[in-house]
Each structure stands twice: as C-alpha cells, then as structure tokens.
Structure 1
Amino acid sequence: MSIRTEVKGAAYWITFDNAKRKNAISSKMYEELCQAMDEAEGMEETLLTVITGDGEYYSSGNDFSPAETAGVDHGDLDYEAGYSRFMRRLIRHTKVLVALVNGPAIGIAATTLGLFDYLVCSDSTYISTPFPTLGVCPEGTSSVVFERIMGTSNATEMLLFGEPMNASQALQHGFVSHVFPKAEFRQKAAALVEKFAKLPKHSVLASKELCRGQKWRREMLACHNEEYDLLRKLFVHEDTINLIMNRFMKAKV
C-alpha cells in the first residue's frame, strides 16, 4: 500500500501501488506523493513527471476506510488533509505533468486530472465524480477547470449530478488526447512518454511556463482554497457524515 517511483531518462514515473484497494490513496500515500513530487521538481534532468496506476484502476480516490478517517477533525482549521498538500504540489509543479490513466479514476483522482498538462487513457477508463452521493462538493480545482475543458453542461452533469464520463466521452470533450485499447495501453502510453522525453527540455519547460505560469498558479491555488473551505464545512454536516458512513464504514475493509 504505497507508491512506486522510477526515473527513466528525462521522465520521473510515479505509480499508485495499492491495487488490492483499487489504488485508494491513504494518508501515507499522500506523504509519499508529496515527497515524490518534490524530488521530481528538484531533479535537473527531469522534463516529464508521469503518474499512473498499477492494476485495473488508475485510482479510486481517497481512502475512506475507518482506519484512515478515525480521529480526523475537518472542522479544525489547523488540520490540512494530505490531498490539499498534494494539490499545492500539482499546481506549483514546473515540469510537464503527464497522466497515463490506465483505468477508472474516481473522486480526487478524477478531479486532479484537469491540472495535468497531457492525458491519455485506456478504453476501460471512466472518470467518476460522485460528490452528490457523498454530500460533498467538487475539489481538485474541478469547479473551474472542468467547465473550461468540456463546457458548462458537461461539467454540470459530472460535478453537480455525479454522472460518470467514459473514455469515448473524455476524448470527445477534449479531456484526453488519446484512448488506447486496454491490452495495448501500457506499451503505447510508455512509447509516447519516451518520445516526448527526448524533446529539448529548456524549450518545453519554457513553453509550459508561458502557458501555465504564475498567473495560472495563483488562480488555481485560490480555487483550491475556496473548494477546500467548503469541503471542511460539508464534511462536518450531519447528512454528509451519514452518507459517508453508509457508503464506506459499513463496507468490508
């Protein structure tokens, strides 16, 4: 139950390695993700930071098991969830962020995809944002980014109504650049990374800074802060507590 990291040329690979729990992200994994992002950021030779998942899922999102949620007080303003620290790393990252979405992406694993610079997915992928069924609200800057990518109506369908988006829709809406067959996904996605990693680093990173520089980062950080403030309030709402308990706490873990 962890993450794996590997450096391949100019690409720093981060893999969710919790396949038995559909790559649900625990607090320990968030700590490791933040450390990995910091390491990739600090490596002079790194051009691409690549995130993918082991097994069938990209990630099923936050781990809401009793062991993970016990003793957490979202109403405590001095408490910051691991996902929030990871969010700040994603937003401030200066290397090119690449998501190889090998399977379903749910919750925070889905919403943060809008912060990546380049995405491809397998045909087994679906993007799920089940906020209304849990009594929470959009996060991962999706309240702003999803509308920009796919338009108001499609974003509303996902964020307000909780309707999933399949791989074909993700391609149609411009959310991903390619959809590869599941059986060929690893090979074809890795070939793209290898190809892009050979590009001149100084030029590509300068272009990323032009497209997503300090102005963009300030906007995304402000969006994250606003979403997180609302999430804090909703997580202590009685109806939300009951919905999450019924969904996760009674499940076998």
Structure 2
Amino acid sequence: MSIRTEVKGAAYWITFDNEKRKNALSNKIYDELCQAMDEANQMEEILITVITGAGEYYSSGNDFSPSEAAGVDHNDLDYESGYSKFMRRIIGHNKVLIGLINGPAIGIACTTLGLFDYLVCSDSAYFLTPFPTIGVVPEGASSVTFERIMGTSNATEMLLFGEPMSAQKALSRGFVSHVFPKAEFVQKAGALVEKFAKLPKHSVLASKELCRGQKWRREMLSVHTEEYAQLRKMFVHEDTINLIMSKFMKAKM
C-alpha cells in the first residue's frame, strides 16, 4: 500500500497507508503525495488538506531500503528526490494544511511539520530527527522553522543532537495545538477538522495568504534549496554512506 485519499466535505484527506513499513516514505509514495497535493490545490471546494497516518505510526520517515537507493546519484545535478518535489508542494500549497499526528513522526515526516498550518497529535506520538546518527543534516526547512516555533535550545536539542520530543513537550513548546488520548484521537481530531471545514472558505484562505503568502513561500523555498544542497553532499560522504549502510541496509541482508 502507499496512500489513501478521500474528500469529506471541504476537507481533502491524505492518509499514509504503508503500515508494514511504519508508513515509511518510498519514491512511489512521494509521487502519489505530489499528485494528491496537486489535486487538492486544484479543487475549488476544498478548504483544508489533512495529512495523517494509518496504524501506529504517522510515518517513520524516508525509506532507506536498498531497493529505494538503487539508481540514485546525488552527484547528478539533474536529479531531484521525491522529498524535494514534496517540499515544493507543501510550500506552495494554497489550502490550509493540517497534520493529524496519530503516532511517531520521524525524520522528514517530522521536519516538514514545521511548514504545516496546524498540528494536533496523539499522546502516543513522539517527534524524532535522527540526523547525527546517520550523518546527514536538517531538511524540511526545519533549520529555520524549528527555531522560530520552539526556540534555539529546543531546536538544537532535536536537530543537532537527535533527542526525541514527546507529545507533551511538543505541546508545551508550541509545536502542536492539542494532544488527544490515543483511544480518542481519530474521533477528536476528526471533529476539529469537521468544525474548521465549515468556516467561510474565501475568508480563511485569504487569511492564510496574509500569514503565509508569497514572501513566506520564497523564503522557505530558499531554505529548502540550501538544505537540499547540503544533503546532496552528505549522501555522497563516505562516513554518511557507512552509517546508513550500518543502520538500515545490513539489517535487511
């Protein structure tokens, strides 16, 4: 499986549906995510785009399996990863983007949340950016958004040192707006979306443009471009290659 999409009133729902891989993001899933984001953007009746996960995880982040890495050349300047394409969709999205974080959000699944307009999570969720353990650098524009949301020390703790952030810490740091019990998460998070989706679309979307219009989009695209350039360098660095091989690939052989 990959993703599921559904329209509920004025809300376009995207659900990561790759439970066997803890909703890891493969190249196929990135392609489908981009298509879904484009579709939501083009639908006149849509006010809100929702992204959530099926099962226990929101998403475990990028799929680093050997099959996903095959044929990828980060030295090729014409190559653009699925992650980068997805980033451009998030930044350019003109609907209200809501994340319903049902469980752990790791790596790119965590960092991109700083670009969402509104987040709630389950008390079973945690947020992890394990960059130092695999020898890479922050992405998802988190090198800027995390510090703005939660302050320098909290951002440093996550992005430089790879420390996890619990659901309650995410609430106290202003990263999420609500934490709901796991058993009630689907019902309570869904009720919020249903409530917000009844607001006047023309007004809410005009307000989003004031808060996160072209100036913000230009800045975030610039941040993404800088991060992506550094990531390319990391992925061809010998130490990073060895760390990723050790962590993800040898265990699958």
TM over 0.5: yes
| 1:13-162 mapped onto 2 (5 Å cutoff) | 13-162=13-162
Instruction: Please give the alpha-carbon distance, in whole angstroms, between the structure 2 residues aligned to 1:75 and 1:223.
Output: 20
Instruction: Please give the alpha-carbon distance, in whole angstroms, between the structure 2 residues aligned to 1:38 and 1:156.
Output: 33
* Paired position in structure 1 for 2:178: 178
- How many residue pairs end up in the alignment? 253
Q: Which amino acid aligns with 1:208?
A: K
Instruction: Please give the alpha-carbon distance, in whole angstroms, between the structure 2 residues aligned to 1:234 and 1:152.
Output: 23
Instruction: Please give the alpha-carbon distance, in whole angstroms, between the structure 2 residues aligned to 1:182 and 1:166.
Output: 14
Gaps of 5+ in 1: none
Gaps of 5+ in 2: none
Instruction: Please give the alpha-carbon distance, in whole angstroms, between the structure 2 residues aligned to 1:120 and 1:108.
Output: 17
* Paired position in structure 2 for 1:208: 208
- The secondary structure found in structure 1 opposite 2:97 is strand
* Cα RMSD, aligned residues only: 0.6
Per the normalisation by structure 1, the TM-score is 0.99
Encode CA deviations 1:38-74: one digit per residue, 9 max, x unaligned.
Answer: 0000000000000000000000000000110012111
Instruction: Please give the alpha-carbon distance, in whole angstroms, between the structure 2 residues aligned to 1:182 and 1:252.
Output: 31
Instruction: Please give the alpha-carbon distance, in whole angstroms, between the structure 1 residues aligned to 2:193 and 2:251.
Output: 38
* Paired position in structure 1 for 2:219: 219
Q: Which amino acid aligns with 1:136?
A: V
- The secondary structure found in structure 2 opposite 1:138 is coil
Instruction: Please give the alpha-carbon distance, in whole angstroms, between the structure 2 residues aligned to 1:35 and 1:146.
Output: 27
* Paired position in structure 2 for 1:8: 8
Instruction: Please give the alpha-carbon distance, in whole angstroms, between the structure 2 residues aligned to 1:43 and 1:84.
Output: 23
Q: Which amino acid aligns with 2:58?
A: Y
Alpha-carbon shift at residue 252 of structure 1 (Å): 2.9
After TM superposition, the structure 1 stretch with the greater mean CA deviation from structure 2, 97-106 or 66-75, is 66-75
Instruction: Please give the alpha-carbon distance, in whole angstroms, between the structure 2 residues aligned to 1:187 and 1:113.
Output: 21
Instruction: List 4+ stretches of structure 1 deviating above 3 A.
Output: none
Alpha-carbon shift at residue 250 of structure 1 (Å): 1.2
State the identity as a percent: 82
